[in-house]
Every structure is written in C-alpha cells, then in structure tokens.
Amino acid sequence: MRLHMRSVLAAAIAALIAGCSSNPSATTSGGGGVSFVPGTLRIADIEEPDTLNPYISTVITSIDLSLLWGSYFFNVDNHGQFVPEVATEVPTLANGGVSKDGLTLTYHMRKGIKWQDGVPLTAKDIIFTWHAIMNKRTNVQVTTGYDKIASIDAPDDYTVVVHMKERFAPIVSYFMGVQGGGPILPAHILDKYADMNKVPFNTKPVGSGPFEVTEWVHGDHVTLVANPNYWRGAPKLHQIIYKWIADNTTILTQLKTGETDAWFRADPGLYPQLKDMPGHTTLVSPYSIFGHIDFYNDDPILRDVRVRRAIADAIDRKRMIHDASHDVYLASNSDQPKFSWAYDPNLPSTAQNQPAARKLLDEAGWAVGPDGVRTKNGQRLELQFSYVTGQAIAPAIGALLSQELKAVGIAVTQKAYTSATFFAAAGNGGILNTHKYQMAYFGWISGVDPDDSPLYTSTEIPPVGQDSLWWRDPKVDALEHDALTNFDQERRKRDYYAIQQEIVDQAPTVILFMEQRIDVFNSHFHNFIPSPAESATWNSWEWSME
C-alpha cells in the first residue's frame, strides 16, 4: 500500500538512517606517560589520497579531510541525525522545503559563512558546485543524485531552489551532503578552469570549514591550521597534522611512543594491542561499512555464477572474523548495516558449506586434478586475490581464503597494492576501476541513505561510476530504479530486500562482515564523538588536546 506523499517524504528524510545509534564500548588504559603537544592533534592514516578534492578521488581519507577544510549542507552526528551546517534546516514537506510532488526542494543558507580567503559563501557557490560535478570534462567519480537535477535557481544570495528531473528519494543525503561525494566548492576560485582535474585547488583547497590546509608534503603529511573566522568560532585545536604511514604496525609503534596521537578506523587485526595500550582510549562503535571480496564478473572463470557461489560457500566467515578482526566485526551477507531500516534480517545463513561448494564446481565442469587443484579444458582453477598493502587484516583474510579455497580445489595467489594504485580512477589506471583483478578485498562505506545503486547498477560501470564488479543484472537495475524514484519507505525496503537477495543468489561479490569502527587516541584528546556515517571528523571544531 502506497502511503500519502506528505507522510512518506517526511518519514523518508527523518528516517534516512533510522535505527542508527552510536553506542561505543570504550577501554581506557591509565599510566604510560604518553607525550603530546597541547593544541596539536597528529592523526595517522594508511591511505594517502591522490587528491584533496574528494570529487575526483576514490580514497575515503579525502572525505575525512574535506570535513576539516570544507563545508556541507549537513553533517551526520553520533545519533545518525543531520546537523545543519551551511543549510539552516533539513527541507521537508512540513517546513515547506519540499514540494508535494517531491520535485522541488528549497534550501535556506546560513548567512555570514566565508571562504578562508574572506569571500562570502553564497548560493552562487552551490550552483557552481553542481555544474562542476556534472562537467563531463572532469573525472568526477560519482554523479548520483546530481544527475537527477534539471536546474537550480537562486532567488537571492542565501536561497537555493532545486528542480528535479524526477523524484529521487535520497536527494537530501546527496545534495551538498557527504554522500554526494564532496563539499561545496568556491566558484570565485574554480570557475575560470575548464575542469577540476589538474588545478592548484586539488593540492591546497580553499574551504569554509574549521581548518585550513597550509601544506601537503606528498608521502608524508597534510597540515591544517585553525580557521579563526569559522562561523561557529575558532576551533579549540590550533592545528591538525594528518600523517601518512604505510604500515599499520608502524602506526601502533608511533602511538606508543607519542609520535602520533590518534588513529581513526584502526586495523582490527591489532585490536588486542590497541585496547590495552597505556595512556590511550580505544572505542569500538557501530559503523556503516562492510568488508567484502569483489569479483571481476567479466573474468572468463568468474563469469560463471556457480564458481562465484562456490567461493562464497567455501568461506568460513566466523573463523575469518575471529582470526582477522578478533571478533570486532559482525558476520553478514548484506551490504546494508544491521541497524538500517533497509537491512533484511531473513537472508540465508552465512555459515560455511564446503560440500555445496564442491558440488557447484563439479556442476561447472571443474574436475579435481592430481595436485588437488581443479582443471577444465586444460586450465587450472587459479585466482588472484588483491588488496591494499600495509594492513594486518587483509593478508590475514588472504591466508584464510587460500586455505579454504584450496580445500575445494581452487588455488589462490595474492598481490598487494598501495591504496593510491588500488583505488585510483579508471583514467589513472586504478586496479579496481580498470578490472586488473579477479578477486579484491576492501571495505565500502554505505551512505546515510541505503542507496547502493552506484555499486550495483549497469549504468555505473567505470569510468562513469563505481560498479567495478562489471556486474550487469537487469533485475537489480529495475529494483534500484524503483527504490530511487519512490519515497514510500516500505516500498523501498522491499526493493532493497530483493537486491540483497539477488546479491546472495548471483554472488557478484562476497560480503563477509559488517565492520565496527575502532578509534584509538591519546587520553589527552577530548570531545571525539564517532559517527556511524562516512567519517569521524564531523565535529572537529570541538576537539581539543590538553
């Protein structure tokens, strides 16, 4: 039954991440005398972005940094609720921000926000950002939501009216939001360029956020200093140094020695050492990210669904979670977090079933050879497993995967890449986006809205999207379209349930677990509040080191 549009649209916006809650478990170890620099926060991360402009990056760290130097219409807090930033309120039918047909949205902007060079941020910047995202010359990774907009008007400098081509249920999450791929851009700096691919802004962006980028030493760090003219007032921290450290054990060492103060999204493979580290607090909290092994579905071996399903059946998720994450993660075969209204609790069991895997491989014509590896028409059933170097969890998963697939007759080789190479855009030769892989492990952050169309629809295959699976499923295409063009949450839920079932049945990817985030930091660091959404940097103006 379709609900009345007024109640449906209001519910869709208010419940975008209904059920989200931040209930972190914390351990704090006293003693240790770990050193710190008052007013300075040094954050370690394994993933250095290829650019500081997140619209043309595929690395999550670019989003983390953009929340420090840039501004969005809304952030998402620890309760999964929108926090108005540049927009003063979330548009709904009740407040007149959304038209009855769902095709027009009106945003009222906060006055007095300035770019870090002193120029006022106005509706002109909003319109420019949309045009920049839709500029076909620019290597923008995702245009989802923005491509549904017909036009944008600005009745005055602080009012934006968005006219949609068609109804798009998650538009509030996407439009100038973190799920949309990046922050508001400064028209007065960027409108002179034909595209954003190679501009000075990408290495030293000018934003309107709480911190200003002052330097990027490639391969080492980015330095940001407090913006004294930030609209909320000057941040409590004087500076943030984001350090790139290519090995997680080195990050662990630097935390112990006081050379680094914080590690957000820490490697769960090191959780036993992290949780009892003297002088530090370690938080485990809900997170909208799932770990998975993707298949290149056009690979001659993997285009057979029986092979893909056999691999899924052969994997022991429970053992992987225990051995690789020390039971921090939660077994799942869904791309939707378990706290989301879109999560289907009735999906098939995630339990290992190697007899079923062997039967599927037999049916696919792969016969066990004398060395235990299956062959077909003279070809060995051997697959390469790729991942990002420097992690503890990825090689641990690779080792377990090799054992479990060997038991059913599949040989596995492994190859590690830097994050920049692994996630690079198709135009830059990225491993995922140019299908230079067979099986690839990584984590994917779900958005505020359950929309997963950028991952699974056939129109999103690189270089125009992020369906690096090269999966084409007409059933999923139709379900995604229905979910995106209807505000009825129950109808959308049915669509997402069916998509999750199709992912299990067709196995274009093997979803292993729903992650929980681990954040560890010096006990002198205060006011850090993890969010289940995209990034932990949403309330950085409140952070302090003292």
Q: pLDDT tens across 411-446, in order? A: 999 999 998 899 988 888 999 999 999 999 999 887
Residue 257 lies in a domain: no
CB–CB of 186/119 below 8 Å? yes
Q: Is 78 exposed, middle or buried (0-12, 13-18, 19+ CB in 10 A)?
A: buried
Counting every residue written for the chain, the total comes to 546
| CA 120-122-126 angle, 5° bins | 135
Residue 348 lies in a domain: yes
Residues 43-61 pLDDT 10s: 999 889 999 999 999 788 9
* Residue-number span of the structural domain to which 411 is assigned: 286-516
Q: How far apart are CA 119 and CA 476, in angstroms?
A: 45
Which residue in 54, 57, 56, 78 sits closest to 67, CA to CA? 54
pLDDT of residue 287: 85
Residue 204 lies in a domain: no
Residue 78 banded pLDDT, cuts 50, 70, 90: confident
Residue 491 lies in a domain: yes
Mean pLDDT of the residues in the chain: 91
DSSP-assigned letter for residue 270: G
Q: How far apart are CA 342 and CA 334, in angstroms?
A: 10
pLDDT of residue 17: 34
Q: How far apart are CA 120 and CA 110, in angstroms?
A: 11
For the entire predicted model, the pTM comes to: 0.76
pLDDT of residue 375: 98
Residue 150 lies in a domain: no
Residue 469 lies in a domain: yes
* CATH number (domain holding residue 365): 3.10.105.10
| CA 31-224-108 angle, 5° bins | 115
Q: How many domains does the chain have?
A: 1
Does 154 have pLDDT greater than 60? yes
Is the CA virtual torsion 186, 188, 189, 193 positive or negative? positive
C-alpha atoms less than 13 angstroms from C-alpha of 1 in its C-beta half-sphere: 2
Helix (H) and strand (E) counts for the chain?
15, 22
Residue 508 lies in a domain: yes
Residue 108 lies in a domain: no
Q: Which residues contact 14 (CB under 8 A, 6 or more apart)?
A: 92
Helix axes of 317-325 and 393-406: crossing angle, nearest 10 degrees: 150
CB–CB of 456/503 below 8 Å? yes
Q: How far apart are CA 386 and CA 200, in angstroms?
A: 33
